[in-house]
Amino acid sequence: MKKISVLFVCLGNICRSPAAEAIFINLLENKGLTDGFIVDSAGTGSWHIGKKADSRMRIAAEKRDINILSRARQITSEDFEGFNYILAMDDSNFRNIQDLKNRTSSTDFASIKKIQNFRSVFNEQEVPDPYFGGDEGFDHVLDILEDSVSGFLKSIS
């Protein structure tokens, strides 16, 4: 059976996308589906390559028994050929992903979507970046992502 590959993308890959990745992995583990998936996250920017997720996001996620283990990386042209789904956290990153694809890749393998297309509870059209806010922003982002990531899994299961 061919694995389904999913890449979550935000700006720096230290807050939203690693949280979405960890939430998705957690959902897959709880449903016994991990063997059928490849899951990763990336940023459109290069500022944080190699760094762990923001400590505030890791702490907020750990309170929910979600472990964020990934290290930041930047999206590459190879990702368009290696992933079935590329999920952007907001409009700006969605445009950046599309621009990179148009400049570097001729493949239409990856389906590029906004994660909030899969929301069911929250009204936000984008996942807000909690980086410059207080701790409550990280909890709110996790709430939003638990909703939309769960909706995404339902849409492909």
- Answer for the pair 137, 128: CB distance below 8 angstroms, yes or no: yes
Determine which one of 40, 90, 129, 147 is catalytic: 129
**Counting Cβ atoms within 10 Å, is residue 1 exposed (0-12), middle (13-18) or buried (19+)?**
exposed
The amino acid at 40: D
Active-site residue, 119 included: no
Active-site residue, 91 included: no
Active-site residue, 10 included: yes
> Tokens 């929910």 map to which residue?
64
Determine which one of 15, 16, 54, 119 is catalytic: 16
Helices (H), the chain: 16-31, 55-62, 79-82, 91-104, 135-156
Determine which one of 10, 56, 79, 119 is catalytic: 10
| Phi and psi torsions of 86, nearest 5° | -120, 120
Active centre residues (catalytic): 10, 16, 129
